[in-house]
């Protein structure tokens, strides 16, 4: 087994980064040695350190964005928005901590006082994904540090360079090195970290398959916190709307931003039968105009490649599988550059496909389904084990009320894309999309636990009933 990890640019195949595979035991031990001192610091000190981190990232904005673009293949404009999100996360997390985990005094009898405070868990492992290799792990790390935890962060083996750069920004801000540890490696290191006896919890963003395995592994450890942020087989419904051009634009933004590599990306388009032909015509034309190219191309592309050739091959095979099951290609999923993981977005009508696979096709593939009444459209939207994001494009408020009441998802949107969730709100789903521990603004909830104390300056007690006479 190699002791080095290598990263290559998906758009060009060029070598980008080499680093040593980390030592799990050593990284956890280092975090264990430092977390108590960090937790003992006042919250204001920890918050100020995280604000310095935001300033470091702000000062390194362009090289950080360039690295993200090169290692993920996403367009430079999108990589810049990811760095913006990393910076913004600090102030959002400080506000969330104050709201979700603030100290409080509660009413208490007999002259005592009731206090509500929160304590950190200790050492938290963070497993990050490749699609947003800075923003998504940062969304766990910042609130964990604010709460007083130490973190061992393992980035995806597909984007280790961004992970290393992110950790360097924390250290450059003066956050103790033992409190933010970088663990580079592959699946073996991820498994070793998640099962390590000296971590107090795991914060995970990634696939449902891995999340389900972690859920089973942690079933015997109720003393450890587990927060799972997984994927989605997300529906977008177009119904009773006169502006089909806008509807097509919202569908494209939902399905193909980030080359479809977002957990909130629309995977299924459910269309009112009478709108099908005109919408598909507009959608097909719009998709045909999308620029797919390398991150620094001029003009800037709408989307870049998927993360690697293995992912591109799997998506091509899944598209072919839908065709073999009876799907009708509206626009084939094409590979325009031989040997590189660029994909031209694919559209496929699967209305006639029985027993459609309930899987998250993590790339630019959109399945289209006709529906002849709104109840059937909602039933189709809920025809999944996942429950992350769902959107309705419609001009009828009463239909949205029905959709909101019946859609089984943690994010339910109206005339907006399925993606683009705000960090100032909770983010999470139900079913196979998470384990009821939403992240983003609610991340403070799983980074600290509440402690209630009944307190008095002096001891006072008596037994007023049930005693024999002295």
> Any idea which of 103-117, 125-139, 299-313, 402-416 has the lowest mean pLDDT?
103-117
Residues 439 and 423: beta-carbon distance below 8 Å: no
Quickly state the pLDDT bin for 215 (edges 50, 70, 90).
Answer: very high
Q: Is 157 a catalytic residue?
A: no
Domain CATH for 188: 3.40.605.10
Produce one character per residue of 377-408: b if its CB has 16 or more CB atoms within 10 Å, e if not. Answer: bbebbeebebbbbbbbbbeeeebbeebeeebb
Share of the chain above pLDDT 70, in %: 99
pLDDT confidence of residue 150:
98
Domain CATH for 386: 3.40.309.10
Q: How far is CA 104 from CA 75, 147, 199, 457, in A?
A: 46, 16, 29, 18
Quickly state the pLDDT bin for 13 (edges 50, 70, 90).
Answer: very high
Same domain, 308 and 357: yes
Produce one character per residue of 428-437: b if its CB has 16 or more CB atoms within 10 Å, e if not. Answer: bbbbbbbbeb
Cβ atoms within 10 A of the Cβ of 110, count?
8
Q: What is the pLDDT of residues 362-393, one digit of tens each?
A: 999 999 999 999 999 999 999 999 999 999 99
**Which of these is catalytic: 229, 294, 360, 380?**
229
> Any idea which of 22-26, 115-119, 161-165 has the lowest mean pLDDT?
115-119
Residue 14, domain member (yes or no) = yes
Q: What is the pLDDT of residues 64-81, one digit of tens each?
A: 999 999 999 999 999 999
- In whole angstroms, give the CA distance from residue 427 to residue 411: 7
Q: Residue 274 pLDDT > 90, yes or no?
A: yes
pLDDT confidence of residue 97:
95
pLDDT confidence of residue 306:
98
Residue 303, domain member (yes or no) = yes
Q: What is the pLDDT of residues 428-465, one digit of tens each?
A: 999 999 999 999 999 999 999 999 998 888 888 889 89
Q: What is the pLDDT of residues 335-361, one digit of tens each?
A: 999 999 999 999 999 999 988 999 999
Q: Residue 1 pLDDT > 60, yes or no?
A: no
Q: Residue 131 pLDDT > 90, yes or no?
A: yes
Q: Residue 470 pLDDT > 80, yes or no?
A: no
pLDDT confidence of residue 271:
98
- In whole angstroms, give the CA distance from residue 192 to residue 208: 19
Residue 363, domain member (yes or no) = yes
Residue 446, domain member (yes or no) = yes
Report the predicted TM-score, pTM, of the whole model to 2 decimal places: 0.96
Residue 429, domain member (yes or no) = no
pLDDT confidence of residue 329:
98
Residue 355, domain member (yes or no) = yes
Q: Which domain holds residue 269?
A: 234-414
Q: Residue 427 pLDDT > 60, yes or no?
A: yes
Q: Residue 225 pLDDT > 90, yes or no?
A: yes
**Which of these is catalytic: 169, 179, 263, 447?**
263
pLDDT confidence of residue 459:
84
φ/ψ of 233, rounded to 5, equals: -105, 70
pLDDT confidence of residue 349:
98
The answer for residues whose C-beta is within 8 angstroms of residue 456's C-beta and 6 or more apart is 110, 111, 112, 113
Same domain, 216 and 247: no
Q: Is 263 a catalytic residue?
A: yes
Same domain, 57 and 127: yes
Same domain, 246 and 358: yes
pLDDT confidence of residue 2:
64
Same domain, 215 and 241: no
pLDDT confidence of residue 177:
97
Q: How many domains does the chain have?
A: 2
Quickly state the pLDDT bin for 42 (edges 50, 70, 90).
Answer: very high
Same domain, 216 and 92: yes
Same domain, 205 and 349: no
Residues 185 and 25: beta-carbon distance below 8 Å: no
């Amino acid at each position: 087994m190699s002791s080095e990890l290598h990263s290559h640019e998906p758009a060009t195949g060029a070598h980008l980064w080499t680093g040593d595979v980390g030592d799990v035991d050593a990284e956890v031990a280092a975090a264990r040695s430092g977390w108590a001192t960090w937790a003992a610091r006042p919250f204001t000190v920890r918050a100020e350190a995280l604000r310095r981190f935001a300033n470091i990232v702000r000062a390194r904005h362009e090289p950080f964005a360039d690295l993200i673009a090169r290692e993920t293949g996403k367009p430079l404009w999108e990589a810049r928005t990811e760095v913006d999100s990393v910076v913004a996360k600090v102030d959002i997390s400080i506000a969330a901590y104050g709201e979700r985990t603030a100290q409080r005094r509660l009413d208490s009898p007999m002259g005592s006082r009731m206090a509500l405070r929160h304590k950190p868990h200790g050492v938290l492992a963070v497993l990050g994904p490749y699609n947003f290799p800075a923003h998504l792990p940062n969304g766990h790390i910042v609130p964990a540090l604010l709460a007083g935890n130490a973190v061992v962060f393992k980035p995806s083996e597909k984007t280790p360079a961004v992970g290393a750069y992110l950790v360097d920004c924390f250290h450059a801000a003066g956050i103790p090195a033992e409190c933010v540890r970088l663990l580079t490696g592959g699946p073996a290191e991820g498994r070793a970290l998640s099962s390590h006896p000296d971590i107090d919890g795991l914060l995970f963003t990634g696939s449902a398959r891995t999340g389900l395995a972690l859920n089973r592994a942690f079933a015997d450890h109720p003393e450890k916190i587990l927060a799972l942020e997984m994927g989605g087989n997300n529906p977008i419904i177009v119904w009773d709307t006169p502006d089909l051009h806008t509807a097509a634009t919202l569908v494209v933004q939902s399905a193909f931003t980030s080359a479809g590599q977002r957990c909130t990306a629309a995977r299924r388009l459910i269309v009112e039968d009478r709108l099908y032909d005109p919408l598909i015509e507009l959608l097909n034309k719009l998709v045909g105009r999308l620029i797919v190219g390398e991150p620094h191309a001029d003009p800037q592309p709408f989307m870049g490649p998927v993360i690697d050739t293995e992912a591109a091959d799997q998506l091509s095979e899944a598209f072919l599988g839908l065709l073999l099951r009876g799907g009708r290609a509206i626009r084939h999923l094409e590979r325009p550059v031989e040997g590189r993981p660029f994909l031209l977005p694919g559209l496929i009508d699967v209305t006639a496909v029985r027993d459609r696979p309930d899987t998250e096709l993590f790339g630019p593939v959109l399945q289209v389904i006709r529906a002849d009444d709104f109840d059937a459209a909602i039933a189709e939207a809920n025809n999944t084990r996942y429950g992350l994001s769902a959107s309705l494009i419609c001009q009828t408020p009463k239909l949205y009320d029905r959709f909101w009441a019946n859609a089984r998802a943690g994010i339910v949107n109206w005339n907006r894309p399925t993606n683009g969730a705000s960090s100032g709100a909770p983010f999470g789903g139900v079913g196979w999309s998470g384990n009821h521990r939403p992240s983003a603004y609610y991340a403070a909830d799983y980074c600290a636990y509440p402690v209630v104390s009944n307190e008095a300056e002096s001891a006072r007690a008596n037994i007023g009933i049930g005693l024999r006479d002295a």
